[in-house]
Amino acid sequence: MSKHSVAEAKNQLSKLIDRALKGEEVTITCHSQPVVELKPVTRTPRPLTRADVEWVIARRPRTEIPAEDAGTFVSRMRDEDWQK
């Protein structure tokens, strides 16, 4: 754990943030009393809603489904390029 005055923190904020992100406990003090602790923010993903799914469905690309399997398609494309 490291303790830093407000003045130190002001001058070295980027470094202190990096240290906190790596897991170090960083405390900022004012008149030798702890006032702030730097720590990473834990993000909780929001739940997927029906509106999210509908948004994706509305914007997904529309492509034709080939009648042949992928292996046949690749072979045909390779053979067509070979003939050129």
Model pLDDT, residue 13: 95
Is residue 25 one of the residues assigned to a domain? yes
* Domains: count for the chain: 1
Is residue 77 one of the residues assigned to a domain? no
The whole-number average pLDDT for the span 38-50 is 90
Model pLDDT, residue 84: 56
CA distance 55 to 62: 14
Whether 62 has a pLDDT exceeding 90, the answer reads no
Q: Output the six-digit token pair for 13.
A: 């904020």
CATH number for the domain spanning 23: value is 3.40.1620.10
Is residue 9 one of the residues assigned to a domain? yes
- Phi–psi pair at 36, nearest 5 degrees: -145, 140
- CA 31 from chain centre, in angstroms, equals 38
Grade residue 32 by pLDDT with cuts at 50, 70 and 90: very high
Is residue 44 one of the residues assigned to a domain? no
The whole-number average pLDDT for the span 55-62 is 88
- Least confidently predicted of 18-27, 45-54, 56-65: 56-65
Q: Which of 44, 46, 26, 45 is nearest to 36 (CA)?
A: 26
CA distance 18 to 22: 6
